[in-house]
Structure 1
Amino acid sequence: MAEIIQLEVKNGDKPTNLSFTDDILSFEVEKKNFKSINKLISIHSRNILSVTLDKSNDVLRVVIEAIVPKGKLKLKLKTYSFEAIDEEAVQSWINTINLAAYKDAKKAKHFKVFINPIGGSGKANKVFNKLVKPIFDAAKCTYDITMTNRSNHAKEIANKLDLKSYDAIVSVSGDGIIHEIINGLLSRNDAAEIDIPIGVIPAGTGNALSICLLGNDHGISVPHAALNIIKGVPMKIDVCSVTQGDERYFAFMSLNYGILADGDISTDHLRWMKDFRFVLGTVQALLGDRNYDCELAMKVVEDNTERIKQRYNNAYNSSSPSSVTKSKTLIDEYGTINDPTPQEWTKLNGDGYIFFASKVPWISRNNLVFPFALPSDGLLDLMVVKRDKISKTKVANILQAFNDASHVNMKEVIYYKVEALRLKPINKENGYISIDGERAEFKPFQVEVHPKLINIISMDGKYSYS
């Protein structure tokens, strides 16, 4: 039987007990307008932000700040205050509860925060001040804020930032600012030694990484994301190097050519439509009968969907889900796009509808495109849908099946695990290539996975189960 840790306090003029057992803090408060009836409050330790002893007034008070469930999907910041009776007993009880609340996570973190004021629907600054700041303050976290005002602003600052001054870097935006931060960190002279984690507040059009961390239901919930940053610990993720021409940069999320890239990039001016713009753009690309002829070469590790699924389940349920044995390095083992294609690589040429690779399972809410993607398996998940006699109706069915990931069971969908790939569009001078949800130059590119280069803050040490 778990130990019950109790503290006697006063609620108004009435004595009451604060009880903690099995990671649950319980106490009674008076119901509003029903003074003779008490309401039982139960708060899980992971939802406790801080427990402090307030000595600012003549009466000592125990102050509990927590973020508690409101309905099935929402969280609400709440403060509870009780009169202390025995100061020595109170301080000992507070220390015990705070240790249980934070476990392996550091209390009172100091953050470098990047806010993109024009990203998504332009509400990131309001999101931070109204929703995030009160939660960070309740958890006694501190922060320095930079409002980004141009492309690559976050990248420039991350490249020169004194990382030792912060416990984490926090992005209040969509996935684009995360892309900038990662590229800024990995272009530093000390890139191989960097371990500062990145926290994610979903405040953009695309919030794929937040959805992967918190799940489809909670992925766009700002309070859930703030709690994840406060209580989470560093989780290593793989990052991909991308070479195009003489340029080299990094991608943490996705690489996309075909109707899905067209649907994303061609509707960038329609961000006010939110997720619906992707649907509109993809349908236009599909009905437009556009050509996506290309040369695809890849270092395949597995192409059997059942084996891929089994390895995913084994890794997800393992206490140490990563099986990568490669050492951390930024050096490209397979060279660049300008080098000859390795002879042992598998080649898949021809026209198709979808050539899509990703390191994350969800590409947006309700779009579980890569259900077997793992944060640090050293591999890239690749999906190909070729044009071979497949009807537009069938392609539409595949897109609709992203909702529950049933597309991976369709014979028209080819699913790979690869270490590297290169793609060269042919018979076409202009088009769209999307990398981490942003438009890239329309020219051949090569991608290679680099294991465990970056840390992301996660409460559970893994992506949400898919």
Structure 2
Amino acid sequence: MASTEATNPFQDPSPGEIRAQGHDQAALAASAPQSTSPQQHASTTLDVGRNASLTLATDSLVIQGMNGGSTKDKEGKTTRSIPFYNILWAERSDSGDITIQYAHTVSKTVVRPAIISYSIDKPDSSAIEAWIQSLLDRAYGTSQRRKRIKVLVNPFGGQGGAVKMYHKHIAPILAAARCELDMEKTMHNGHGIEVGQKLDIDAYDVVACCSGDGIPHEVWNGLGKREDAARALVKIAVTQLPCGSGNALSLNFNGTNSPSLAALAVVKGLRTPLDLVSVTQGDKRTLSFLSQSVGIVAETDLGTENLRWMGSTRFTYGIVTRLLRQSVYPADIAVKVEHDNKAAVREVYRTEASKPGPHCDERELPPVNTGLPALRYGTVQDPLPESWTLVPHDHLGNFYAGNLAYMSADANFFPASLPSDGCLDLVRIRGDLKRTKAINTLLAVAEHKFFDMDHVDYQKVTAYRIIPRNQKDGYISIDGERIPFEPFQAEVHCGLGTVLSKSGHLFEAKGV
């Protein structure tokens, strides 16, 4: 999975390294003035002392003549380099000093804000301001600067360390980037729904959830309950700053489950449409952003709540124990299929992945007081659509529909998933596997071989209905939240929600 975890801010990264980071550095550079003449080239360098200068290179800010932490180039001059992606802010004081704040790499999983500052002997105000703006243009590209962020911190999620993580690893990065922060702790189950319902969508750009995947699920459902739901879901980007045991939203869009690296990704994040899914059960309609599952995965997630102290390891433990039992979960299933085989699914993914990412969110803002879109296929209580057929699955091991690629740090169940293709990726695994083959199936997910296994069916669908049978009770998981063990129906709404991502159109995951 692409991430910034290996980035060294003191080394000018190669184009290959930039691609590995997962962010569109080429787009950032393209949005800024480029050097095409000696006069233009001179404007990219700012002299900040008798023997020091700051130069806007292709991918990085190059500092010459700086002591401490610097290296010597071939001519013996002291130099260091900071990738534009790590630049958080730059400004000039009234006295003429120039200050640059950036994310300094402490380790592979931690960045912290750091400052370089110079006093300029003969300040040329217009030249300095122009140079600073050029630096910020290259650092941010089309990403919004100084985002207005409503931060929700869940002190009860995961292993209970979200508040400490926020103050130590997240808030310093966001503050250094001059983001406007409004932090609130969630106090009870469903608090995120209340925040989404009451949020002033003109006062914020982002709701950032310092939590697992539960709080983003609540926020989207709160936004979905509003009279202006469609408008709110487009205006407000929902992001995750990973502080829980399940951090799928951050893994998919920030490329990391590190709180500080995720904070940096949010600072530089591009507004990106995300499909949301309506799940109907009885007379209730729920929005899903992550997944819906019946069988091994649902039971693993919801049946291991007592093992939260294990962190994400509880998911692996739960799957292994249930695979060894060779559990099956009979159900009748009807599906609206768009791409019904792996070859077709792979072609759709590769076609989309080959396109350059958009530089901005091109959706029009829905009119005021526009609610959720109407359901094209009705609810689970309506007659089955004429073109659908219920098919019995007597030996179903797992029914798993995903809207994102990664479900956890080592579980890329849906490698062909796309953020806004209007489809869910559906995986069905036969439950009558021998134990050795079942274990190999689990290992194949981490080894990126899962998609090609012959007993794994993979389709892209726009809607489905599932009716569990021959069981009095069991687990159904919607975004990791348990719902009653009853029939339910789901359908996709293309690009209904909004997130921040590094690429602008793809997940930070290895595709097919």
TM-score (norm. length: structure 2) = 0.84
Aligned twin of 1:298: 335
Question: What's the CA shift for 1:90?
Answer: 2.1
Aligned twin of 2:9: none
Aligned twin of 1:187: 225
The reply to whether residue 439 of structure 1 matches residue 482 of structure 2 is yes
Aligned twin of 1:7: 46
Aligned twin of 1:418: 461
The reply to whether residue 81 of structure 1 matches residue 120 of structure 2 is no
Aligned twin of 1:351: 395
Question: What's the CA shift for 1:273?
Answer: 0.2
Question: What's the CA shift for 1:38?
Answer: 5.9
Contact 1:84 1:90 in 2 (8 A): no
* Identical positions, percent: 35
Question: What's the CA shift for 1:49?
Answer: 0.5
Question: Deviations 1:339-369 (Å, cap 9, x if unpaired)?
Answer: 1222322443122111100011111011111
Q: What code does the residue aligned with 1:125 have?
A: V
Q: Distance in 1 between matches of 2:79 and 2:422?
A: 48
Equivalent residue in structure 2 for 1:368, among 402, 409, 412:
412
Q: Flag the 1:38–1:174 CA change in 2: closer, same or farther, 3 A.
A: farther
Q: What code does the residue aligned with 1:40 have?
A: T
The reply to whether residue 404 of structure 1 matches residue 447 of structure 2 is yes
Q: Flag the 1:465–1:289 CA change in 2: closer, same or farther, 3 A.
A: closer
Aligned twin of 2:61: 25
Q: How does 1:250-289 map to 2 (within 5 A)?
A: 250-289=287-326
Q: Distance in 1 between matches of 2:89 and 2:329?
A: 54
Q: How does 1:141-180 map to 2 (within 5 A)?
A: 141-180=179-218
* Cα RMSD (Å): 2.3
Q: What code does the residue aligned with 2:186 have?
A: T
- Runs of at least 5 residues in structure 1 that lack an aligned partner in the other structure: none
Q: Distance in 1 between matches of 2:199 and 2:405?
A: 30
Q: Distance in 2 between matches of 1:320 and 1:123?
A: 35
Q: Flag the 1:33–1:193 CA change in 2: closer, same or farther, 3 A.
A: closer
Contact 1:31 1:39 in 2 (8 A): no
Q: What code does the residue aligned with 2:244 have?
A: G
Question: What's the CA shift for 1:408?
Answer: 1.5
Aligned twin of 1:211: 251
Q: Flag the 1:164–1:33 CA change in 2: closer, same or farther, 3 A.
A: closer
Q: Flag the 1:392–1:47 CA change in 2: closer, same or farther, 3 A.
A: same
The reply to whether residue 392 of structure 1 matches residue 416 of structure 2 is no
Question: What's the CA shift for 1:146?
Answer: 1.1
Equivalent residue in structure 2 for 1:92, among 127, 130, 141:
130
Question: What's the CA shift for 1:162?
Answer: 0.7
Contact 2:405 2:509 in 1 (8 A): no
Question: Deviations 1:58-110 (Å, cap 9, x if unpaired)?
Answer: x5321110114455554342211111231413222212212222221222222
- Runs of at least 5 residues in structure 2 that lack an aligned partner in the other structure: 1-34
Q: Distance in 2 between matches of 1:183 and 1:164?
A: 19
- How many corresponding residue pairs? 452
Question: What's the CA shift for 1:54?
Answer: 2.7
Aligned twin of 1:223: 260
Contact 1:31 1:38 in 2 (8 A): no
Aligned twin of 2:376: 333
Q: Distance in 2 between matches of 1:52 and 1:352?
A: 60
Q: How does 1:90-169 map to 2 (within 5 A)?
A: 90-169=128-207
Q: What code does the residue aligned with 1:353 have?
A: G
